[in-house]
Amino acid sequence: MANNLAEVYKESAEKFGSLPSFFSKNEKKEYQPTNYKDLYEMGLGLGEALIELGVQARDKVGFIADHRLEWPIVDAGVLMTGAADIPRGTDVTESELEYILNHSESKVLFVENEKVLEKFNKVKSKTSVKTVIMMDPKAKVPSGVLKLYDLIEKGNKLRAGGTKKVEARVADIKPDDLFTLIYTSGTTGQPKGVMLMHSNMMHQVNDMVPLLEIGSKDRVLSILPVWHIFERVFMYAAISRGASTYFTNVRDMREDFGKAKPTFMGSAPRLWESIYLGIYNRLNDPKQTPAIRKAIFNTAYFFSKHFHASVRFLQGQEVDYEGRNPVVSLLTGIKSLVVAILTFIPYKLFDAIALSKIRLATGGHLRATCSGGGALQRHVDAFFNDIGIKVIEGYGMTETAPVISARNFKNLVMGSVGKVAPKTELQIRDFNGAVLTHVKVDGSVEGKRGVKGIVHVRGPQVMKGYYKNPEATNKALKDGWMDTGDLGMINFKDTLTLTGRAKDTVVLLGGENVEPVPIENKLTESTYINQIMVVGQDQKNLGAIIVPDFEKLKIWAKENGVSETDEKALIANPKVLDLYKKEIKELNSAKNGFKSFEQVTPFFLITKPFEVGDEMTNLMKLKRHVITEKYQDQIKKLYT
């Protein structure tokens, strides 16, 4: 059995040698397979050449690339040297690139294509990089830049001549050696390098992956950025089980569903919300969907929804937040049984007529999707489960490699993110640190169910720490316990339900992590903004709650023909709202260093300032969970 990720590549080559490991596209956009044996041998050749180049065990190797066949080849090669890779996508900014390469002390850098090379060359003189390797075999490579496939060929010749340094390196990998160093993309200060060990990912491969029931006949569609730990765990999951991975992107996804006919995929909530909205937009457009077809779909969904809801309750998979009375449960169970019997035949009939056609849009074979990186909206979650596409929602973070908890086929409780991962402890603590609920390693629960608090986790998936940042490490980790910053509770089905954020970080629907403080600090530079709180947890984009500086605003109003002096009337005036739109657009812009997903769009104004003892702590920090709860109705309106 594999002890580290380099051995996972070897073991899979031995078990699944002739089976396709990855499918990538040729110039005609046709999928071409690469089998497990060839993948492993290319990794061996690259690893041998990298050792010859001087890469030492436990070095850090930079790696800037998106989805492509060469991604797992480079990953395998680097791991086989005993080094750790430092991956990032091609959208990395020049300043991030410079910081990451210097902070990680990377001397070797893989670049995907000429565009990435051009970006690197702008900061090259400020980095520690000595060797640059081009991954794209079709790229024009300037003098001094090495080619990936030339190195693989060189390594193969070395091995043919009897050099076998890779095997010694792999045998020397320790469980606490880093396999990767992932720099989080927060906007507060510099990115933090999350140190993930081989033991972290081996826990995920050995203990979490079996719950997904992936096998060598599965086809996994890969759409999320492969350098993100969420997508990366799926890559290793597929490799360890002999499944085939098909690389795609948002532009080609619809077509690639038909080509790959996937059985499984990892995804961010935004993808399924987008598909859900697309279905309903087509249904409500008379030009695309005649009235009779819409009526058939509505009827089909009616029977499917009621049948599946009844079955979920009878199987014990209906979430319970309060602890149902046994008598109520019995009566609901009887009702559910009757509904299931009455709806079964019409459900099956209309499923064949209408709902199966929707499933065909995903290739017709999709058993499940694992959604993570943000909360999936309940109605979207229910819709796909009810039409026959199971949603295995999971929860985790980069610092936990990533899975803390997840649903599985046997325990698919909607309204929760599933059971806590095997070999993992989880505690719900109040804001003073007192333990309210404790999920033990064996899965048993001590303490109160249904009580909200801050989620803390301890287990084999928790990171080693933040690279060269003991202060941040000590803040996040105490006695091995990771403070996730998420609010949640253990419900009466003993699964975890998330209820919000205690820490500042906002996680958008697409999985982007945004630190709101720098955005808020920039926007309060406006003459007309006194206080602001950025919102947007589990939404497509950021919004804001703004407390105007009414003294300055009233002066502006008088000068610009706005007659209202009453504060409530003033914040409703269209001219005033336009003023704030312009202020936000000017300050929270790309020219000030904010990425598109870090830009605020919807907002609303309020008259009551945030005050100490109410919405603020004694240290003048925003109590985000308090403000979110207080203005939840207005926040909801921003996104409807």
Asked whether residue 563 is assigned to any structural domain, the reply reads yes
- Mean pLDDT over each residue of the chain, to the nearest integer: 93
Q: Which has the higher per-residue pLDDT, 431 or 337?
A: 337
Collapsed DSSP state (helix, strand, coil) of residue 613: coil
Are 98 and 121 contacting, i.e. CB atoms less than 8 angstroms apart?
no
DSSP 296-324: HHHHHHHHHHHHHHHHHHHTT-B--SS--
pLDDT digits (tens, 9 = 90+) for 339-387: 999 999 999 999 999 999 999 999 999 999 999 877 787 888 999 999 9
User: β-strands 425-429, 419-420: how paired?
Assistant: unpaired
> d(Cα 60, Cα 86) in Å, to the nearest integer?
7
Q: What is the CA radius of gyration of the chain?
A: 26
Measured torsion, CA atoms of residues 364, 370, 372, 377, in degrees rounded to the nearest 10? 60
| Last residue within a domain, chosen from 135, 158, 173 | 173
Query: 598-601 long-range CB contacts below 8 Å, 24 or more apart?
Result: 598/187, 598/514, 598/519, 598/542, 599/541, 599/542, 600/519, 600/523, 600/534, 600/541, 600/542, 600/543, 600/544, 601/541, 601/542, 601/543
pLDDT tens per residue, range 598-607: 999 999 999 9
219/265 Cα distance (integer angstroms): 8
Query: What's the confidence (pLDDT) of residue 377?
Result: 77
200 assigned to some structural domain = no
Q: Is residue 594 domain-resident?
A: yes
- Cβ within 8 Å of residue 527, ≥6 positions away: 549, 552
In a domain, 462, yes or no: no
pLDDT band at 185 (very low <50, low <70, confident <90, very high): low
User: What CATH number is associated with residue 572?
Assistant: 3.30.300.30
474 within some domain: no
Which residues, in sequence order, are CB contacts of 299 under 8 Å at separation 6+?
Answer: 350, 354
Residue 619 predicted with pLDDT over 60:
no
The number of folded domains in the chain is 2
Contacts of 349 (CB under 8 A, 6+ apart): none
Say if residue 616's pLDDT is above 90: no
pLDDT of residue 188: 43
| Percent of the chain residues topping a pLDDT of 90 | 80
pLDDT band at 617 (very low <50, low <70, confident <90, very high): low
State the average pLDDT over residues 190-210.
95
Res 413: pLDDT: 94
* Spatial separation of the C-alpha atoms in residues 392 and 23, rounded to whole Å: 24
Buried b (16+ CB within 10 A) or exposed e, 34-52: bbbbbbbbbbbbbbbbbbe
Q: Measure Cα distances from 439 to 156, 417, 548 in Å.
A: 50, 14, 45
In the prediction, which pLDDT does 186 show?
A: 46
541-584 confidence digits (pLDDT tens): 999 999 999 989 999 999 999 998 899 999 999 999 999 999 99
Overall average pLDDT of the 208-227 stretch: 94
Distance of alpha carbon 359 from alpha carbon 71, whole angstroms: 30
Q: Evaluate if residue 620 carries a pLDDT over 70.
A: no
Span 215-223, mean pLDDT? Answer: 96
**Run of H or E residues at 455:** strand 453-458
Cα 557 to chain centroid, rounded: 44
Residue type, 256: D
Tell me the average pLDDT across 594-601. 91
Q: Six-digit token pair at 197?
A: 């060990």
At residue 521, the pLDDT reads: 81
Strands 445-447 and 435-439: antiparallel
3-class DSSP state of 396: strand
Phi, psi of 245 (to 5 degrees): -110, 130
Express each pLDDT in 158-170 by its tens digit: 999 999 999 999 9
- 278 in a domain, yes or no? no
Quick check: is 521 in a domain? yes
Q: Are 590 and 522 in contact (CB under 8 A)?
A: no
Q: Give CA–CA dist 538/395, Å, rounded.
A: 13
Residue 341, both tokens: 């019997």
Domain of residue 78, CATH code: 3.40.50.12780
pLDDT tens, residue by residue, 457-479? 999 999 999 999 999 999 999 99
Distance CA 187, CA 505 (A): 10
Q: What is the pLDDT of residues 67-125, one digit of tens each?
A: 999 999 999 999 999 999 999 999 888 989 999 999 999 999 999 999 999 999 999 99
Instruction: Please determine, for residue 187, whether its predicted confidence score (pLDDT) is greater than 50.
Output: no
Residue where one domain finishes, among candidates 156, 173, 190: 173
CB 421 within 8 A of CB 406: yes
Dist CA 514 CA 195 (whole Å): 20
pLDDT of residue 104: 97
User: Tens digits of per-residue pLDDT, 484-517?
Assistant: 988 899 999 999 998 877 777 888 988 887 888 8
Q: Which amino acid is at 108?
A: V
Report residue 45's pLDDT band, with 50, 70 and 90 as the boundaries. Answer: very high
Q: How far apart (Å, rounded) are the C-alpha atoms in residues 505 and 517?
A: 9
Domain holding 553, by residue range, is 515-638
Q: What is d(CA 369, CA 515) in angstroms, rounded to the nearest whole number? A: 28
Task: Tell me whether strands 600-605 and 542-548 are parallel, antiparallel or unpaired.
Answer: parallel
Question: Quick check: is 378 in a domain?
Answer: no
Whether residue 612 has pLDDT greater than 80: no
> Contact 151/50 with Cβ under 8 angstroms?
yes
Residue at a domain's end among 121, 153, 173: 173
